[in-house]
C-alpha cells in the first residue's frame, strides 16, 4: 500500500518536532524531513529520534528546487546524521556520490528533480538511476498542463525492477500524483494541512485521504475524472469520490486541468480498461467533439460533449447537461413549458444544452450572447433567434423562462456580479442559473426578490451527475435520488432546495 508522506521543511529542531507531531495527528504514515535549513547534525538527530513514525530524510539544493545553500560537506553530514539516528530512508539526488555508512539499514531513494518541463532524455536518466543500487526511485519534473503526464506514463511503461514514484509538480498536474499511486508508487507526498506545501501542487493529507481515498487506491483501481480549466473548485470530486455510500466499487475521480485536451485523451486511452471516461466542463465541451468515435443524439444536437465514456478503446461523447436542465426546470414549473417564451444567456456548451432542453420541452427559445459567431451555426441549425445581452433584449422578449449559462457570478471568478438588473427579471418567471457556486448567486437573489422562481445550478449539477454515473460506471440504481447525492457535497450545497421553490 502507498504510504502518505507528509513533507515538512522545519527551521529548527523545535519546529521539526512540532511539525512532525502535527503531521502524524493529520494521518501521515511517514515524514519527509527536509533538512534544507539545518546547520547542526545534532539537531537532525534530535528530530529523527523524536519522531513516532518512519522518517525519509532529504536535503534539497536550490538547483533541485530546495532551499539549502550551505557547504556540500555539511549537507552530507546532515544526511548521514539522519541515517545514523534511525531514518528509514535517505533521499539522494541522481548526481550524488554519497555512500551511507554500512550497517545502518537505511534505504536509499535515488531521486531526480527538475523545476522545468521533463527533458527529452528523461528515460535515459532514469535508466542510469535504476542501475545505482537504490531501493526505490523518485522522478519529479514541473508540469504546466495535465497533458504533460505523457512523459511520466512513458516511464511507468518501462517497468523498472525497483519501485518508482514519478509525478509532475504544479496544480494542473495534481492527477499525476494519484496516477502514480495507481501504478504502485510507494509514496504519495502531501502537505500536513492547508496552506503552502513543500512543493507546488501537493495535496494536503485530508484531501488525499478523505477526498481522493488514497489509502484505498492501488494497481487494480479504475479511474475517471474532470477535464476542464481552473477546475479545483468543482463539487464533482467530493461527490464522485464519495459514492462508496451507495456503490460497492468506486473508481477514483481525478482532476485533469488541461488546455490540450486531445493530447491528454490519447494518453489516457493508454490506461486501457482502467480509464473509464471523463466529465467535461468549460472550455472543452466543443473542443473534444472531433476526438469522439461516437456521439449520442443529445451531444450531436448540442455540438458539445460533457461526458466521455471510454469503452474498449473507443470514446463515446454524451451530453447529460440536457437532461440536467430539463429535470431541474420540470421540478420548478407548475405546468409544462410548451409555448413559453424562453431566453438562454450565453453561447458555450452549457448554453447549447439548455437551448436543446428547452426546444425539446416545446418552449419558444431565443439566445442572447456577447459574441454571436461561435454559436451562429448552432442557432441556425435549430432556428433560434440571436440577440445581444442588453436591457432592450430583456424588455422586448419578456422571458417566462430564463437560463443563465455564462461564468459571470461564479464564486471563484466574480461573486456578486450579475448580467441582469432587477427590472430585467419578469415577476413569476422561472430563472435558472447554471453557476452552482455559490448556491444562491446574485442573479438568483434578485430573482427571488423580484418574485420569480429561482432555480439553483446545483439542481442541474445533481441531475446530470446522476446520469453521468449511470453512463460511465454502468449502474446508478443503488442511488435513491439526487437528494442523496446532495448529502455528499456538504455545506456547499446546503440550501439548494430553498433556491428552487415550485409555484
Helix (H) / strand (E) containing 311:
strand 307-311
List the one residue out of 212, 261, 256 whose CA is nearest residue 237: 212
- Mapped to the 3 state alphabet, what secondary structure does 5-33 carry? EEEECCCCHHHHHHHHHHHHHCCCCEEEE
- Which stretches within 270-365 are classed as H helix? 297-302, 321-332, 349-360
Helices 41-50 and 13-25: crossing angle, nearest 10°?
20
Is residue 374 classed as helix, strand or coil in its secondary structure?
helix
Query: Which residues 6+ apart lie within 8 Å of 121 measured at CB?
Result: none
* Sheet containing strand 294-295, strands side by side: 252-257, 223-228, 275-280, 307-311, 314-318, 294-295
Cβ atoms within 10 A of the Cβ of 52, count? Answer: 8
Reported in sequence order, the residue ranges of 182-282 that DSSP labels E, i.e. its strands, are 187-190, 223-228, 252-257, 275-280
- Could you please report the per-residue DSSP string of 161-187? SS-EEEEEESGGGHHHHHHHHHTT-SE
Reported in sequence order, the residue ranges of 96-251 that DSSP labels E, i.e. its strands, are 107-114, 136-142, 164-169, 187-190, 223-228
C-alpha cell at 217: 487506491
Residue 142 · residue 115 · CB < 8 Å: yes
Which residues are paired to 344 by β-bridges? 367, 403
Q: How far is CA 324 from the centre of its chain?
A: 21
- Give dist(CA 181, CA 69) in Å, integer: 32
Which residues are paired to 141 by β-bridges? 114, 168
285 is catalytic: yes
CA dihedral sign of residues 447, 353, 348, 495: positive
Is residue 148 classed as helix, strand or coil in its secondary structure?
helix
C-alpha cell at 35: 533538512
CB-facing half-sphere around the CA of 288: CA atoms within 13 A? 35
Q: Which residues of 425-454 are buried (b: 16+ CB within 10 A; e: fewer)?
A: bbeebbbbbbbbbbbbbbbbbbbbebebbb
Identified catalytic residue from 114, 138, 191, 285: 285
CA angle 30, 32, 33 (to 5 degrees): 125
Q: Which residues are catalytic?
A: 285
Amino acid at each position: 500500500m502507498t504510504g502518505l508522506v507528509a513533507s515538512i521543511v522545519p527551521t529548527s529542531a523545535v519546529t521539526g518536532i512540532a511539525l512532525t507531531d502535527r503531521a502524524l495527528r493529520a494521518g501521515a504514515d511517514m515524514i519527509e524531513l527536509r533538512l534544507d535549513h539545518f546547520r547542526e547534525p545534532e539537531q537532525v538527530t534530535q528530530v529523527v529520534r523524536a519522531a513516532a513514525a518512519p522518517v525519509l530524510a532529504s536535503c534539497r539544493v536550490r538547483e533541485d528546487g530546495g532551499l539549502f545553500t550551505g557547504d556540500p560537506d555539511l549537507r552530507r553530514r546532515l544526511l548521514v546524521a539522519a541515517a545514523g539516528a534511525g531514518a528509514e530512508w535517505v533521499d539522494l539526488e541522481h548526481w550524488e556520490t554519497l555512500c551511507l555508512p554500512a550497517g545502518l539499514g537505511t534505504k536509499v531513494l535515488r531521486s531526480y528533480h527538475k523545476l522545468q518541463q521533463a527533458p527529452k532524455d528523461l528515460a535515459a536518466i532514469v535508466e542510469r538511476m535504476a542501475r545505482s543500487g537504490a531501493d526505490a526511485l523518485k522522478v519529479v519534473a514541473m508540469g504546466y498542463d495535465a497533458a504533460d503526464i505523457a512523459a511520466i506514463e512513458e516511464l511507468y511503461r518501462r517497468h523498472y525492477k525497483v519501485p518508482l514514484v514519478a509525478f509532475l509538480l504544479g496544480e494542473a498536474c495534481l492527477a499525476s500524483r494519484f496516477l502514480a499511486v495507481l501504478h504502485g508508487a510507494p509514496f504519495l507526498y502531501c502537505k500536513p494541512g492547508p496552506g503552502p506545501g513543500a512543493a507546488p501542487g501537493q495535496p494536503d493529507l485530508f484531501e488525499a485521504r478523505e477526498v481522493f481515498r488514497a489509502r484505498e487506491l492501488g494497481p487494480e483501481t479504475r479511474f475517471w475524472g474532470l477535464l476542464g480549466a481552473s477546475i479545483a473548485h468543482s463539487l464533482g470530486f467530493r461527490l464522485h469520490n464519495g459514492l462508496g455510500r451507495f456503490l460497492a466499487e468506486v473508481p477514483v475521480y481525478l482532476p485533469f486541468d488541461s488546455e490540450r485536451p486531445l493530447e491528454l485523451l490519447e494518453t489516457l486511452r493508454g490506461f486501457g480498461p482502467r480509464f473509464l471516461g471523463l466529465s467535461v466542463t468549460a472550455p472543452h465541451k466543443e473542443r473534444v467533439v472531433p476526438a469522439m468515435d461516437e456521439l449520442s443524439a443529445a451531444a450531436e444536437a448540442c455540438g458539445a460533449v460533457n461526458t466521455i465514456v471510454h469503452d474498449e478503446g473507443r470514446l463515446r461523447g454524451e451530453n447529460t447537461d440536457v437532461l440536467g436542465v430539463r429535470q431541474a426546470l420540470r421540478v420548478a414549473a407548475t405546468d409544462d413549458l410548451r409555448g413559453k417564451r424562453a431566453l438562454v444567456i450565453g453561447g458555450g456548451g452549457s448554453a447549447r444544452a439548455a437551448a436543446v432542453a428547452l426546444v425539446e420541452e416545446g418552449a419558444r427559445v431565443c439566445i442572447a450572447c456577447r459574441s454571436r459567431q461561435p454559436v451562429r451555426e448552432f442557432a441556425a441549425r435549430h432556428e433560434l433567434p440571436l440577440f445581444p445581452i442588453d436591457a432592450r433584449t430583456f424588455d422586448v422578449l419578456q422571458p417566462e423562462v430564463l437560463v443563465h449559462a455564462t461564468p459571470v457570478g461564479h464564486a471563484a471568478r466574480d461573486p456578486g456580479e450579475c448580467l441582469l438588473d432587477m427590472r430585467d427579471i419578469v415577476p413569476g418567471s422561472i430563472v435558472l442559473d447554471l453557476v452552482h457556486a455559490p448556491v444562491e448567486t446574485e442573479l438568483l437573489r434578485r430573482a427571488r426578490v423580484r418574485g420569480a422562481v429561482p432555480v439553483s445550478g446545483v439542481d442541474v449539477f445533481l441531475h446530470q451527475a446522476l446520469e453521468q454515473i449511470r453512463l460511465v460506471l454502468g449502474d446508478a440504481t443503488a442511488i435513491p435520488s439526487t437528494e442523496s447525492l446532495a448529502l455528499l457535497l456538504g455545506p456547499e450545497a446546503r440550501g439548494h432546495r430553498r433556491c428552487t421553490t415550485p409555484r
